[in-house]
């Protein structure tokens, strides 16, 4: 573009302005040739580029242009590695440029409320701090290459069932602390060029026209100035959407809405300045995209190697009894490799995030390569392609396992189960796989199960019978190699679960309300999502949030915490006490010991992934801010950190806390806003208010028999009584015809005056 945005706004006709508020087709914005405004080309995705063969097609059920398929969200979420996310972002930015993609529609960062969410595989975690840090790193990576990102799906879209017609009913505190918090962190740390609104309604209003969400929170509070675009067809009332701050409708051309916008401006129902604001943001996006097209691309880096590295960081070693892993070639002569997924791995989920990979590592091939010549590998399919139970295949596997030194079983959710548009039916493995594992484990005690799924799995019917479990998630095209390297020990596993694996599905806090009814889905479990619930309920999960084993061991010592000018500094020493180089994910949780409002037992506030040689020690330092100690107070509609004692807990998982320290934090005094029904306890906790109240009571005591003194006995009994009621109870004679309302109003203004002096 060779003119400024202001100049362009003057040059564009009303019709042109209205028209560029919708796309040209499925994947492009409209350009205006006469003014040299080029279109922007955008494509999915979240874990790889899904560029269709033509700009007119959705391409969901067809093969698209091949691109690198990285681990899906829940997999890479389990890497807990912000540097890796940045690196993958940079690689995606470069690959996008090579494919003429200017805006990438990702990452997906919605919270996992239920393990049944059909798109859980696309999302990072059940925790907003982990999600927020990873999402920001990913976006900073993409955008450092001059390619835009799209933060999605804003907001409250946590499952697929009837999402287009269901309102997520979420109370404001839960919304802020759980469902918006990751978005907020990402907006502030990475300024994504676009945000994609979700399909669902949020508290009764479509996200695409939700003034509270798009304007009050995103723009006004968080200061977001980029483009908000709609999820594909999420627009309903276009004029309402524009007023709320939805700039770009996708897909286009939506000529009917161009007409509606022009008419609304002409008849005065939409101010032209409101339209101009959206147009200016879209032009800014065009400017950002075109401003970066000069750099020479050079030779493509080895993206496949990066996909393997990312998979290796994502895989989680869940169980390793008697150090059955890694497999030692020198102690083995045969391995039974069982299960179809060994030859046809599941590497991703279905829907708009599905990438046509450039190549796929096959676990069986990679295992054969790494096992070496002295070890023989045998294969049995284990279960059929459909859901039926096939005794013949089970018996064939049992025979192979009996005659081998060890059995490695590849199992997981079937391909069809995890997809956009459908929630999962359950999180148990299919019956034919459960039976297979049980039968093989009965004859071969050295059994290692490699599970694939994008969401938590229930493992109770079999996990106690096998010594080794590796969760490989849906880890993209390099997964086969990465799993083989974990099995044989070339990779020391370092992934940690980004979500809780419950003992059974009904343990999950959202279990009572998983589906909306009559268009409303109430998030009644509130703040208690994921580990926040299991902790509070004192319920043991199968594998907790943050869990993941290593082939080495780490110790945590010398924890120091101190509050300074700029926040709280936490430092401790981490040591690799094992015999192998390895990476530990250290997790910092904060617990508020004294808050007046209910709070989770602990909340993740910081983490770091640290690599140490055997015997190496390192001092790890975290700086926490006041916000890390705050909760969202809906009385004042702001974040509040209450002075008092907090516990800082450092651990290797949310249930493996290694070291803790208490700290008294001073965040200043809470400034109470007094109102008609403020309680006696509130009045006496504020020095100015207490003074005013005491003076008034003295005055009253001169006229009544039942006198009131703010002594321990009186306050002990009446502290939860609104002060207005104290006067109604004891001061009616003194009040005479003056109403208690007037009295309280007057006292509140006296408190205000006293504070100002």
Of 352 and 451, the one with the shorter C-beta distance to ligand BGC is 352
Q: Please report, as residue ranges, which positions from 649 to 668 form the binding site for ligand BGC (by CB under 6 A).
A: none
Contact criterion met (CB below 8 Å) for 645 and 538: no
- What distance in Å separates the CA atoms of residue 567 and residue 642, rounded to the nearest whole number? 14
State the alpha helices, DSSP H only, in 646-739: 680-685, 687-701, 712-718, 723-730, 732-735
* Closest distance of CB 46 from ligand BGC, Å: 8
Q: Please report, as residue ranges, which positions from 375 to 434 form the binding site for ligand BGC (by CB under 6 A).
A: none
Residue whose CB is nearest to ligand BGC in the complex, by number: 352
* Closest distance of CB 18 from ligand BGC, Å: 23
Of 209 and 366, the one with the shorter C-beta distance to ligand BGC is 209
CA 645 to chain centre: 28
Question: Residue 391: enclosing H or E segment and its boundaries?
Answer: helix 391-402
- What distance in Å separates the CA atoms of residue 523 and residue 488, rounded to the nearest whole number? 44
* Closest distance of CB 542 from ligand BGC, Å: 30
Tokens standing for 180?
A: 């918006």
* Closest distance of CB 106 from ligand BGC, Å: 8
* Closest distance of CB 717 from ligand BGC, Å: 57
| Cα–Cα distance list, 716 to 385, 597, 680 (Å) | 69, 20, 10
Catalytic site includes residue 231: yes
The strand pairing partners of 564, in sequence order, are 567
* Closest distance of CB 45 from ligand BGC, Å: 7
- What distance in Å separates the CA atoms of residue 285 and residue 290, rounded to the nearest whole number? 9
Task: Report the b/e string of 60-76 with b at 16+ CB within 10 A.
Answer: beeebbbbbbbbbbbbb
Of 208 and 352, the one with the shorter C-beta distance to ligand BGC is 352
Residue 231 binding ligand BGC, by CB under 6 A: yes
Of 105 and 620, the one with the shorter C-beta distance to ligand BGC is 105
* Residues in contact with 220: Cβ distance below 8 Å, sequence separation at least 6, in sequence order: none
Q: Please report, as residue ranges, which positions from 150 to 179 form the binding site for ligand BGC (by CB under 6 A).
A: 152
Of 61 and 711, the one with the shorter C-beta distance to ligand BGC is 61
Residue 354 binding ligand BGC, by CB under 6 A: no
> Closest by alpha carbon to 407, among 373, 372, 450, 365?
450
Question: Residue 7: enclosing H or E segment and its boundaries?
Answer: helix 5-11
| Coil/strand/helix, residue 699 | helix
Of 114 and 352, the one with the shorter C-beta distance to ligand BGC is 352
- What distance in Å separates the CA atoms of residue 133 and residue 107, rounded to the nearest whole number? 12
Provide long-range contacts, Cβ within 8 A and 24+ apart, for 392-396: 393/432, 393/436, 394/432, 394/435, 394/436, 394/439, 395/439
* Closest distance of CB 312 from ligand BGC, Å: 27
State the alpha helices, DSSP H only, in 583-739: 680-685, 687-701, 712-718, 723-730, 732-735
What binding mask, one character per residue, do residues 12-51 give for ligand BGC by CB under 6 A, x or -?
--------------------------------x-------
Contact criterion met (CB below 8 Å) for 94 and 162: no
The count of residues interacting with ligand BGC (CB under 6 A) is: 6
The strand pairing partners of 410, in sequence order, are 450
Residue 232 binding ligand BGC, by CB under 6 A: yes
Contact criterion met (CB below 8 Å) for 116 and 65: no
Q: Please report, as residue ranges, which positions from 52 to 111 form the binding site for ligand BGC (by CB under 6 A).
A: 105
Length of the chain: 757
Of 154 and 629, the one with the shorter C-beta distance to ligand BGC is 154
* Residues in contact with 395: Cβ distance below 8 Å, sequence separation at least 6, in sequence order: 439
Residue 352 binding ligand BGC, by CB under 6 A: yes
Of 44 and 642, the one with the shorter C-beta distance to ligand BGC is 44
Residue 133 binding ligand BGC, by CB under 6 A: no
* Closest distance of CB 153 from ligand BGC, Å: 6
The 10 Å Cβ neighbour count of residue 294 is 7
Of 231 and 535, the one with the shorter C-beta distance to ligand BGC is 231
The 10 Å Cβ neighbour count of residue 520 is 14
* Closest distance of CB 152 from ligand BGC, Å: 6
Of 218 and 590, the one with the shorter C-beta distance to ligand BGC is 218
* Residues in contact with 594: Cβ distance below 8 Å, sequence separation at least 6, in sequence order: 642, 644, 645
* Closest distance of CB 198 from ligand BGC, Å: 8
With the C-alpha atoms ordered 219, 222, 223, 226, is the resulting torsion angle positive or negative? negative
Tokens standing for 49?
A: 């580029």
The 10 Å Cβ neighbour count of residue 203 is 16
Of 230 and 444, the one with the shorter C-beta distance to ligand BGC is 230
Active-site entry in 55, 100, 191, 231: 231
- What distance in Å separates the CA atoms of residue 68 and residue 477, rounded to the nearest whole number? 7
* Closest distance of CB 723 from ligand BGC, Å: 52
Q: Please report, as residue ranges, which positions from 675 to 714 form the binding site for ligand BGC (by CB under 6 A).
A: none
Q: Phi-psi category of 77—alpha, beta or left, where left has phi over 0 and alpha has psi -120 to 50?
A: alpha
| Coil/strand/helix, residue 249 | strand
Please give the positions annotated as active site. Answer: 231
Q: Which residues make up the interface to ligand BGC (CB under 6 A)?
A: 44, 105, 152, 231-232, 352
């Amino acid at each position: 573009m060779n003119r400024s945005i202001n100049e362009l706004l003057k040059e564009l006709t009303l019709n042109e302005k209205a028209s560029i508020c919708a796309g040209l087709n499925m994947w492009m914005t409209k350009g205006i040739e006469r003014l040299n405004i080029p279109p922007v080309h955008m494509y999915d995705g979240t874990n790889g580029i899904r560029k269709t063969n033509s700009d007119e097609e959705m391409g969901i059920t067809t093969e698209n242009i091949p691109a690198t398929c990285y681990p899906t969200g829940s997999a890479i979420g389990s890497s807990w590695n912000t540097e890796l996310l940045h690196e993958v972002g940079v690689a995606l930015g470069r690959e996008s440029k090579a494919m003429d993609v200017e805006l990438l529609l990702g990452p997906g960062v919605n919270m996992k409320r239920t393990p049944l969410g059909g798109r859980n595989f696309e999302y990072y975690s059940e925790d907003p701090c982990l999600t927020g840090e990873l999402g920001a790193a990913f976006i900073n990576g993409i955008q450092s290459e001059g390619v835009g990102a799209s933060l999605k799906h804003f907001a409250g879209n946590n499952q697929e069932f009837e999402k287009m017609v269901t309102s997520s009913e979420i109370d404001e505190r839960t919304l802020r602390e759980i469902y918006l918090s990751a978005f907020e962190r990402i907006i502030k740390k990475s300024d994504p060029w676009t945000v994609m609104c979700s399909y669902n309604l949020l508290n009764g209003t479509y996200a695409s026209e939700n003034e509270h969400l798009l304007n009050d929170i995103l723009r006004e509070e968080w200061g977001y100035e980029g483009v908000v675009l709609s999820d594909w067809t999420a627009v309903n009332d276009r004029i309402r959407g524009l007023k709320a701050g939805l700039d770009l409708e996708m897909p286009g051309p939506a000529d009917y809405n161009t007409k509606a916008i022009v008419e609304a401006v002409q008849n005065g129902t939409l101010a032209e300045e409101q339209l101009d604001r959206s147009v200016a943001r879209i032009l800014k996006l065009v400017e950002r995209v075109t401003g970066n097209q000069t750099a020479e691309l050079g030779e493509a880096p080895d993206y496949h190697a990066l996909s393997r590295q990312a998979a290796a960081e994502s895989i989680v070693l869940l169980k390793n009894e008697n150090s059955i892993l890694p497999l030692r070639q020198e102690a083995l002569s045969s391995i039974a490799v069982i299960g179809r997924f060994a030859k046809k791995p599941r590497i991703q989920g279905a829907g708009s995030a599905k990438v046509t990979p450039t190549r796929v590592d096959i676990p069986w091939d990679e295992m054969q390569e790494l096992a070496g010549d002295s070890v023989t590998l045998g294969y049995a399919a284990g279960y059929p392609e459909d859901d039926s139970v096939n005794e013949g295949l089970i018996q064939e596997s049992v025979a192979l396992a009996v005659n081998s030194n060890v059995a490695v079983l590849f199992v997981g959710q079937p391909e069809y189960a995890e997809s956009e548009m459908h929630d999962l039916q359950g999180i148990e493995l299919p019956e034919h796989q459960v039976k297979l594992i049980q039968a093989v484990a009965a004859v071969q005690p050295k059994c290692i199960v490699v599970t694939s799924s994008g969401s938590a799995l229930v493992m109770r019917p079999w996990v106690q019978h096998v010594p080794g479990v590796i969760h490989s998630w849906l880890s993209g095209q390099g997964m086969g190699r990465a799993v083989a390297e974990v099995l044989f020990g070339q990779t020391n596993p370092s992934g940690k679960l980004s979500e809780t694996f419950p003992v059974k599905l009904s343990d999950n806090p959202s279990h009572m309300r998983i589906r909306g009814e009559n268009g409303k889905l109430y998030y009644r479990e509130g703040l208690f999502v994921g580990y926040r619930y299991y902790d509070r309920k004192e319920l043991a999960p199968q594998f907790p949030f943050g869990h993941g084993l290593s082939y080495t061991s780490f110790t945590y010592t010398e924890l120091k915490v101190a509050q300074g000018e700029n926040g709280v500094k936490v430092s401790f020493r981490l040591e690799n006490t094992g015999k192998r180089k390895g990476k530990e994910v250290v997790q910092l949780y904060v617990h508020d010991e004294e808050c007046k409002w209910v709070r989770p037992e602990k909340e993740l506030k910081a983490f770091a992934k640290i690599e140490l040689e055997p015997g190496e020690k390192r001092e790890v330092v975290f700086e926490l801010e006041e916000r890390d100690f705050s909760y969202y107070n809906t009385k004042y509609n702001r974040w509040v950190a209450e002075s008092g004692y907090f516990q800082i807990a450092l651990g290797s998982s949310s249930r493996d806390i290694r070291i803790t320290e208490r700290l008294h934090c001073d965040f200043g005094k809470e400034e109470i806003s007094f109102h008609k029904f403020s309680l006696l306890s509130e009045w006496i906790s504020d020095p100015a208010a207490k003074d005013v109240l005491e003076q008034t009571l003295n005055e009253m005591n001169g006229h009544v028999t039942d006198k009131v003194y703010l002594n321990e006995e009186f306050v002990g009994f009446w502290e939860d009584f609104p002060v207005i009621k104290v006067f109604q109870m004891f001061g009616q004679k003194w009040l005479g015809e003056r109403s208690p309302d007037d009295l309280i109003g007057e006292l509140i203004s006296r408190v205000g005056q006293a504070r100002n002096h």
